[in-house]
Structure 1
Amino acid sequence: MSFGAALDAVVQASATLHLLRPHWLWALLALPLLAGLWQLRRRRASVWRQAVDPHLLPHLIDGRIEARRNTALWLGVLGYLLAVLALAGPSWRQIEQPLWQTRTPLVIALDLSSASLAGDLPPSRLAQARAKIASLLEARQGGQVGLVVYAGDAFTVAPLTEDAANVALFLDALHPNVMPVDGQRGDRAIAWAVRLLRQAGFDRGRILLMTGHADADALEAAAAAAAEGYRVSALGLGTAAGAAYRRGDGSIGHAALDGAALRALAGRGGGQYAALQPDRTDLHALGVLDPAAADAATAQDGQGRTWQDDGYWLVLPLMLLALLAFRRQHGAAALVAVCLWLPATSLHAAPEPAPAPAGSSAHLWQRPDQHAHERMQAGAQAYRAGDHERAAQLYRGLDSADGQYNLGNALARAGDYQQAIEAYERALEREPGMPDALANKRAVEAAMKRQPPQGQQPDPGAQPEPGQDGEPQPGEGEGEGDRGQPSPPQQGAPPQQTGPPRDEADPATDADPADAEAQQAADAAQREAMQRALQQEQAQAGQSEQAEPEPPPRPPETAAERESRLANEAWLQRVPDDPGGLLREKFRIEYERRQLRGGPGE
């Protein structure tokens, strides 16, 4: 490469230089001060400068020492410059950056004033609005949703939640008669929706105002919400011709769709406007069905690229300069060895070792969950190899429910039924209702009851075969987290536990979906086989016991009891079915509380 080409490459690189943290360059202002302090300290440290005349110093002081000191000064200045530049985050290139698309929350603010009963959208605006909200909740693709209603003030019907069905439960109860005060204060609805989003921890979100009217206060509230990061859209209810409606005081009013005002509100709020349509075209136009649509648009504008921090390259020459700070060669060699050893130890993939003792040096570098997982793996291998005593020894150090369950399986296989039952009980204490521990505990207890009496013990040297009468069959598996297909229990034998030892999940390993489905199917078949075996044992035990006597028949109902029962039923039938009563009382109490505190939204 010629000198001109190299110079052009340097100029081009400097033109594309981008500092991620440029404020670190202010630290360069301290460089002259530090250099001056270092020079002053060096002069004061020299005893000869205080005792010898200045014109004689060059002849008495070795020039090589002075040159080394000047070299150390310039090397220190160079190291300081490299450190500051590295901290400033220099970057010459951009890389692809995977963007995380959030599920933008949505708060629906519904106009529940008496104007919502206008019939320009038959049968009424309110009926059409409730149907539209139900369609939105059904078609929305994830993201939290909240519902706010407003008239003269705004109230929360359902806070932000992932469960859209929970919001839909209140739709049939929405009516103007649940509102404590009439009016069309869209500004208070927007402010209340912003408060809900902020309380839920969202710094941005969507607000959908469903109404046919917007005043100047509502436009100002939409602009204020947009300034905080919350986009306000409007869905127009009604027609331009409008229709008459009856107010709460009995007077007649006229409501018409003010599309221009709602369009201006959406423009001030950074959202969109659409009039209500019989299909979902209006919801698609508003962009409220896909909560990640806004994030996707932002990602396309940013092209999904980010500056790569290349400041770490300056650390390499900085480390070489740090080696020169060592006055002895063995110190520099030790630092080089440490630098070479650290990456090798952190990147080398060693084979899986055997479980280390609790006091060993290997255990000191492991977290408790890592050590427990290692013992669980070793115990499972010993169990599958038939070394049940070794497996029990490994499982004894595990205090989790799975560890005690596996300990019970190993002890049962080794013939120690009493300790196996105790291990199952400890597992149930840590995880109440564990189905596998309950089933195996019952199987071992049944095997203990079927043991031959004293004096007729079987040969201790004989190894019981799987399925032999009186031998429980807990846990024979194929591998970690993979349960095999269950075998039907043999006649007179306790149910087989065909699954392997329950291993604790490895946080660094993700389960395969196919394996998870196979495991669930195997678990279901296993529990079904155990249930059948237990039912057979209960049926056999019930043959030798007398049937429990049936409860005595209830005495005939007297005339007074019958009269009291009929009166209670008639009273229950007179209770009015008012689904909106709860909302009415809730809004009334909240409205009165706000008035006492000095205003709406307090």
Structure 2
Amino acid sequence: MNLPAGIDLAALHLLRPQWLWALLALPLLMAFSRVRRRRTSVWRESVDAHLLPHLLVERGDARVRRAWGVGIAAYVLAVIALAGPSWRQSEQPLWHDRTPLVIALDLSSATSAGDLPPSRLAQARAKIDALLRARADGQVALVVFADDAYTVAPLTEDAANVALFLDALEPDVMPVDGQRPDRAIEWSAKLLRQSGFDRGVILLLTDRADDRARDAAAAARSQGARVDVMGLGTDAGASYRRGDGTFGQARLDAASLRSLASAGGGRYAAIATDDGDLRALDVLDPDTTLGSGDAKQSDATRGRAWQDDGFWLLPPLMLLALFAFRRRAALAVLLLCIGWPPAQAADWWRRADQVEHAQMDDGNRAYRKGDFADAAQRYERVDSADSHYNRGNALAKAGEYPQAIAAYDEALKRAPGMEDAIANKRAVEAAMKRQQQSSPKGGGGQSQSPKDQKPSQGGQGAQSPSSQQQKQQSSQSPQQQPGQAPKAGDAQSQREADRAQRERMQRALEQQRGDKAPKPGEEPVQETPQQRERRLANEAWLRRVPDDPGGLLREKLRIEHERRQLQDKE
């Protein structure tokens, strides 16, 4: 950290000058010290002079004055540092207030009217999608309403997550048909408050409004929310089919929607084919969605703030604080001056279990990197059952089978009955036997890795370490089946053995399914009538699975509707 080149005295000021009131405590502290010294004089009046040297500790006046001087200096420096002296400005990332937006979409059966081809709902979904893609930033939520209002997507900064639900919006997902924009406004305002916002914008998409909706818009405005309205439909209107099979006539009531927007302190615009309606409503930029009354911060002052330079007083304050220690103050000053390495100093404060945990972590990292020799050395520095078990795994992966068995024995001495160590020890012993059988004279043979065999299955013994979920408590080391490391001489044979194992497993799966694929040079396997009938039935059943993207949303709204009904009854 570089010291400032200079201090501009004209710009020097305190960011928190209220802390200077703490200086008034100095006279009180001095008065308290004098009272204490007077109490010591009482002993001089009550005790014989030849006994006072054995009862009182004499302090020279010079020593007392030095102590008071150091204390007063440290106190003044601390108060000035807390007051926040500042003489320069610096660039600071400032938080921008992004106004949240709640989109409330009318999802009644009237939105199926075709006066906005192909339908009002299709036009509304396209408009919401364009809004989500064009909106610069800020949190967005999606609410749908018919007879009641429901949350489809809560407030989030991920507009793409909100757009995922657009294709599932249909009138039939609503539990009860109707048209209550007042409940949509009330629910949207509640959603803003629950998310911790004291202001926001509610964009209502519908074709008409009543007195209840205007009252709800006025209430939302008093709570800090602005209500904008986008009209769906045309003056001529069109007929539509209700959920019960009857027909109705839907028309755009622009006058009632303008009145609603005026009550909510917002604007009204009819839906358009371009983005002119969104620009008229001013909902694309979250910085300006509350109108001209909330002016932006000017570019001249944006990102600049006075810097608190009181930390420059901390080093001298710390040096003065060292004199408050009666013991080893000189040693502390010496260590501070020579700059003792922090890493070594940190080791002094570690407990034994923390040191062992660090060694185990280092061994785990080396194991995951494939450096099994280094991992084994690091595990060896810790004397515990887990460390010896991990060391056995690392040695086995490195191909040192006798040493691995010895490590498993050490683990079993400290934790008798350790199933993982017993299983892996048996696997390594089996690998050694196979290695001896393949090269009885100790050279030229190739051994099969123990990771290709399964020493235990299910409840008959310990599972393979590769299939267990980090069973070790303190080490959290990789639990894998030990095996020979892929050295340069037998890497090709290991790959061939793995490939052969995968082929055997694939053939077994194909035989179990009854549709074994023919191999080159083999005759294709003919299906039995029963197998063919079963396959055709499965394919027909898959074709009958309905493609209903709104099913989950429909079930969610139904459950919410039933929950509200139960609350109303209570």
Counterpart for residue 399 of structure 2: 414
For 2:100 and 2:382, how far apart are their aligned partners in 1? Answer: 47
Alignment partner of 1:333 is 2:327: no
Q: CA offsets per residue over residues 181-222 of structure 1, 9 Å max, x none?
A: 634334x32442344455567777664332355653243343
Q: Are the counterparts in 2 of residues 207 and 233 from structure 1 also a CA contact under 8 Å?
A: yes
Alignment partner of 1:592 is 2:569: no
Q: CA offsets per residue over residues 457-499 of structure 1, 9 Å max, x none?
A: 233xx5x7xxx6325499xxxxxxxxxxx9999798222xxxx
Q: Is there any run of 5+ residues in structure 1 with no aligned partner, and where?
A: 1-5, 52-63, 351-355, 427-439, 475-485, 496-528, 558-564, 598-602
Q: Secondary structure at the match of 1:46?
A: helix
Q: Aligned runs of 1:295-306 on 2, under 5 Å? A: 303-306=302-305
TM-score after normalising by structure 2: 0.60
For 1:219 and 1:314, how far apart are their aligned partners in 2? Answer: 55
1:411, CA displacement in angstroms? 1.0
Q: Secondary structure at the match of 1:44?
A: helix
Change over 3 Å in CA distance of 1:177–1:242 after alignment to 2: farther
Structure 1 letter corresponding to 2:501: L
Q: Are the counterparts in 2 of residues 379 and 392 from structure 1 also a CA contact under 8 Å?
A: no
Q: Are the counterparts in 1 of residues 102 and 141 from structure 2 also a CA contact under 8 Å?
A: yes
1:236, CA displacement in angstroms? 0.9
For 1:324 and 1:587, how far apart are their aligned partners in 2? Answer: 68
Q: Are the counterparts in 2 of residues 115 and 255 from structure 1 also a CA contact under 8 Å?
A: no
Structure 2 letter corresponding to 1:312: F
Counterpart for residue 37 of structure 2: 42
Change over 3 Å in CA distance of 1:586–1:416 after alignment to 2: same
Counterpart for residue 433 of structure 1: none
Q: Secondary structure at the match of 1:493?
A: helix
Match of residue 237, structure 1, among 231, 242, 248: 231
Counterpart for residue 469 of structure 1: 446
For 1:22 and 1:199, how far apart are their aligned partners in 2? Answer: 37
For 1:179 and 1:185, how far apart are their aligned partners in 2? Answer: 16
1:42, CA displacement in angstroms? 2.5
For 2:284 and 2:432, how far apart are their aligned partners in 1? Answer: 62
Q: CA offsets per residue over residues 573-600 of structure 1, 9 Å max, x none?
A: 99x9995864674464245235325xxx
1:110, CA displacement in angstroms? 1.1
Q: CA offsets per residue over residues 53-72 of structure 1, 9 Å max, x none?
A: xxxxxxxxxxx955765665
Structure 2 letter corresponding to 1:220: A
Counterpart for residue 131 of structure 1: 126
Q: Are the counterparts in 2 of residues 93 and 307 from structure 1 also a CA contact under 8 Å?
A: yes
Q: Are the counterparts in 1 of residues 185 and 216 from structure 2 also a CA contact under 8 Å?
A: yes
Counterpart for residue 223 of structure 1: 221
Q: CA offsets per residue over residues 367-413 of structure 1, 9 Å max, x none?
A: 776433333456689947x789647747997969xx98896464143
Alignment partner of 1:372 is 2:369: no
Q: Are the counterparts in 2 of residues 190 and 221 from structure 1 also a CA contact under 8 Å?
A: no
Counterpart for residue 278 of structure 1: 273
1:284, CA displacement in angstroms? 6.7
Q: Secondary structure at the match of 1:494?
A: helix
Q: Are the counterparts in 1 of residues 131 and 284 from structure 2 also a CA contact under 8 Å?
A: yes
Q: Secondary structure at the match of 2:11?
A: helix
Q: Are the counterparts in 2 of residues 88 and 311 from structure 1 also a CA contact under 8 Å?
A: yes
For 2:97 and 2:382, how far apart are their aligned partners in 1? Answer: 43
For 1:206 and 1:458, how far apart are their aligned partners in 2? Answer: 84
For 1:44 and 1:322, how far apart are their aligned partners in 2? Answer: 27
Counterpart for residue 458 of structure 1: 441
Structure 1 letter corresponding to 2:171: H
For 2:198 and 2:375, how far apart are their aligned partners in 1? Answer: 57
Counterpart for residue 188 of structure 2: 193
Alignment partner of 1:532 is 2:515: no
Q: Are the counterparts in 1 of residues 106 and 179 from structure 2 also a CA contact under 8 Å?
A: no
Change over 3 Å in CA distance of 1:593–1:147 after alignment to 2: farther
Q: Are the counterparts in 2 of residues 113 and 183 from structure 1 also a CA contact under 8 Å?
A: yes
Counterpart for residue 419 of structure 2: none
Q: Is there any run of 5+ residues in structure 2 with no aligned partner, and where?
A: 1-5, 47-58, 290-295, 412-423, 452-485, 517-524
Q: CA offsets per residue over residues 158-193 of structure 1, 9 Å max, x none?
A: 44565846763464443288353634334x324423
Structure 2 letter corresponding to 1:223: R
Q: Are the counterparts in 1 of residues 234 and 252 from structure 2 also a CA contact under 8 Å?
A: no
Structure 2 letter corresponding to 1:411: A
Q: Secondary structure at the match of 1:255?
A: coil
Counterpart for residue 346 of structure 1: 342
1:108, CA displacement in angstroms? 2.4
Structure 2 letter corresponding to 1:217: D
Change over 3 Å in CA distance of 1:117–1:457 after alignment to 2: closer
Q: Are the counterparts in 2 of residues 191 and 225 from structure 1 also a CA contact under 8 Å?
A: no
Q: Secondary structure at the match of 1:122?
A: coil
Q: Are the counterparts in 2 of residues 105 and 143 from structure 1 also a CA contact under 8 Å?
A: yes
For 1:348 and 1:155, how far apart are their aligned partners in 2? Answer: 60
Structure 2 letter corresponding to 1:532: R
Q: CA offsets per residue over residues 262-305 of structure 1, 9 Å max, x none?
A: 6546746xxx76543324565577676787999xx769686223
Structure 2 letter corresponding to 1:86: A
Q: Are the counterparts in 2 of residues 109 and 149 from structure 1 also a CA contact under 8 Å?
A: yes
For 2:26 and 2:155, how far apart are their aligned partners in 1? Answer: 54
For 2:178 and 2:198, how far apart are their aligned partners in 1? Answer: 31
For 2:103 and 2:226, how far apart are their aligned partners in 1? Answer: 10
Counterpart for residue 308 of structure 2: 309
Structure 1 letter corresponding to 2:184: A
Q: Are the counterparts in 1 of residues 192 and 198 from structure 2 also a CA contact under 8 Å?
A: yes
For 1:138 and 1:273, how far apart are their aligned partners in 2? Answer: 21
Change over 3 Å in CA distance of 1:338–1:174 after alignment to 2: same
Change over 3 Å in CA distance of 1:319–1:223 after alignment to 2: same
Q: Are the counterparts in 2 of residues 236 and 257 from structure 1 also a CA contact under 8 Å?
A: no
For 2:499 and 2:488, how far apart are their aligned partners in 1? Answer: 10
Change over 3 Å in CA distance of 1:488–1:206 after alignment to 2: farther
1:83, CA displacement in angstroms? 1.6
Q: Secondary structure at the match of 2:204?
A: strand
Q: Aligned runs of 1:71-150 on 2, under 5 Å? A: 72-73=67-68, 75-99=70-94, 106-113=101-108, 116=111, 120-136=115-131, 146-150=141-145
Q: Are the counterparts in 1 of residues 434 and 448 from structure 2 also a CA contact under 8 Å?
A: no
Counterpart for residue 436 of structure 1: none
Q: Are the counterparts in 1 of residues 113 and 250 from structure 2 also a CA contact under 8 Å?
A: no
1:225, CA displacement in angstroms? 4.7
Q: Are the counterparts in 2 of residues 91 and 308 from structure 1 also a CA contact under 8 Å?
A: yes
Change over 3 Å in CA distance of 1:451–1:540 after alignment to 2: farther
Structure 2 letter corresponding to 1:416: Y
Counterpart for residue 494 of structure 2: 494
For 1:309 and 1:555, how far apart are their aligned partners in 2? Answer: 80
Change over 3 Å in CA distance of 1:348–1:388 after alignment to 2: closer
Change over 3 Å in CA distance of 1:332–1:115 after alignment to 2: same
Structure 1 letter corresponding to 2:122: A
Q: Aligned runs of 1:196-211 on 2, under 5 Å? A: 196-197=191-192, 199=194, 207-211=202-206
Q: Are the counterparts in 2 of residues 212 and 237 from structure 1 also a CA contact under 8 Å?
A: yes
For 1:406 and 1:178, how far apart are their aligned partners in 2? Answer: 62
TM-score after normalising by structure 1: 0.57
Structure 2 letter corresponding to 1:208: L
User: RMSD value over aligned CA atoms?
Assistant: 6.0
Q: Are the counterparts in 2 of residues 392 and 407 from structure 1 also a CA contact under 8 Å?
A: no
